[in-house]
Structure 1
Amino acid sequence: MEPSRRSPPPSMETGRGEDEASQAARERIPRIDPYGFERPADFDYASYEDFFSTYLRILTNRAIKWSKLLKGKNSVQKNMKVKRYVRKGVPNEHRAFVWMAISGAQAQMDQNPGYYRKLLEGERNDKLVESIKTDMNRTFPDNVKFRQTADPCLQHTLYNVLVAYGHHNRGVGYCQGMNFLAGYLLLITKSEEQSFWLLDALVGRILPDYYSPAMMGLKTDQEVLGELVKMKIPSVANLMDRHNVMWTLVVSRWFICLFIDILPVETVLRIWDCLFYEGSKIIFRVALTLIKQHQASILEATNFPDICEKFKQVTKGPFVTECHTFMQKIFTEPGSLSTATITKLRKSCREKLLVQG
Structure 2
Amino acid sequence: MAKVQQGNGLQSGVSKSLRGTTESLADQESNSFGSDNEVNGFAKTESQTDKYGFIGGAQQHTGESADDVPPEVLRQREVKWLEMLNSWDKWIAKRHKKVKLRCQKGIPPSLRGRAWLYLSGGKVKREQNQGKFQELDSQAGDPKWLDVIEKDLHRQFPFHEMFVARGGHGQQDLYRVLKAYTLHRPEEGYCQAQAPIAAVLLMHMPAEDAFWCLVQICEKYLPGYYSAGLEAIQLDGEILFALLKRVSPAAHRHLKKHKIDPILYMTEWFMCAFSRTLPWASVLRVWDMFLCEGVKIIFRVGLVLLKCMLGSQEKLKTCQGQYETMERLRAVEPQYMQEGFLIHEIIELPVTERDIEKEHHAQLRRWKETRGELHCKSPPRMHGARAIMEAEPPSRRDLQQNPTIIVESPPATRSDEGIQDETDKGRTRRTKTEKSKEKRKSGSTEVLTNPYAPPSDPQPPPHDAPLLKDTPLQGSNQSLSSAEQDTYL
TM-score of the superposed pair, with normalisation by structure 1: 0.82
For 2:289 and 2:208, locate their aligned partners in 1 and report how far apart those are by CA, in whole Å: 22
Structure 1 284/63 Cα, relative in aligned 2: closer, same or farther at 3 Å?
A: farther
Letter in 1 for 2:225: Y
Shift in Å at residue 69 of structure 1?
Answer: 4.0
Letter in 1 for 2:228: P
Any idea what SS the aligned residue of 1:56 has? coil
Q: Structure 2: how far apart are the matches of 1:250 and 1:292? A: 14
Residue 258 of structure 2 corresponds to which residue in structure 1?
243
Structure 1 residues 159 and 41, CA gap change in structure 2 (3 angstroms): closer
Q: Which residue of 1 aligns with 2:359?
A: 345
Name 1:141's counterpart in structure 2: 158
One-letter amino acid of the counterpart of residue 188, structure 1: H
1:186 aligned residue: 202
Aligned match of 1:287: 302
Q: CA deviation at 1:306?
A: 1.1
Among 347, 354, 358, the residue aligned to 1:331? 347
* Structure ranking higher in helix proportion: 1
> Does the 8 Å contact 1:87/1:274 carry over to 2?
yes
Cα RMSD for the two superposed structures: 2.4
What is the aligned counterpart of 1:115 among 89, 109, 132?
Answer: 132
Report the CA distance shift for 1:149/1:169 in structure 2 as closer, same or farther (over 3 A). Answer: closer
Q: 1:1-357 residue pairs with structure 2 within 5 A?
A: 31-40=48-57, 48-49=62-63, 52=65, 54-58=66-70, 60-71=72-83, 73-76=85-88, 77-78=91-92, 79-148=96-165, 152-189=168-205, 191-294=206-309, 295-296=311-312, 298-300=315-317, 301-314=319-332, 316-321=333-338, 323-332=339-348, 334=349, 336-357=350-371
1:171-203 CA-partner distances (Å, limit 9, x unpaired): 3210011111101100111x0001001101111
Partner letter of residue 253 of structure 2?
N
Q: Are the aligned partners of 1:139 and 1:179 in contact in 2 as well (CA < 8 Å)?
A: yes
Residues 269, 276 of structure 2: 8 Å contact kept: no
For 1:56 and 1:276, the matched residues in 2 are separated by: 22
TM-score, normalisation: structure 2: 0.61
- How many residue pairs match? The answer is 318
User: Hey, what's the Cα distance between the residues in 2 that align with 1:72 and 1:235?
Assistant: 43
CA contact (8 A) 1:100 1:106 kept: yes
Verify the 8 A CA contact 2:136 2:183 in the aligned structure 1.
yes
Q: Does the 8 A contact of 1:209 with 1:215 survive in 2?
A: yes
Unaligned runs of 5+ in 2: 1-46, 372-489
Query: For the residues of structure 1 that align with 2:327 and 2:58, how far apart are their CA atoms?
Result: 21
Q: Given residue 74 of structure 1, which amino acid in structure 2 is its aligned partner?
A: N
Structure with larger Rg: 2
Gaps (5+ residues) in structure 1?
1-29
Equivalent-residue separation in structure 2 for 1:348 and 1:112 (angstroms): 37
CA distance in 2, matches of 1:40, 1:136: 17
CA displacement, residues 253-303 of structure 1 (integer Å, 9 cap, x when unaligned): 111111112101111111111111111111111111122233236422110
- 1:124 CA drift (Å): 2.0
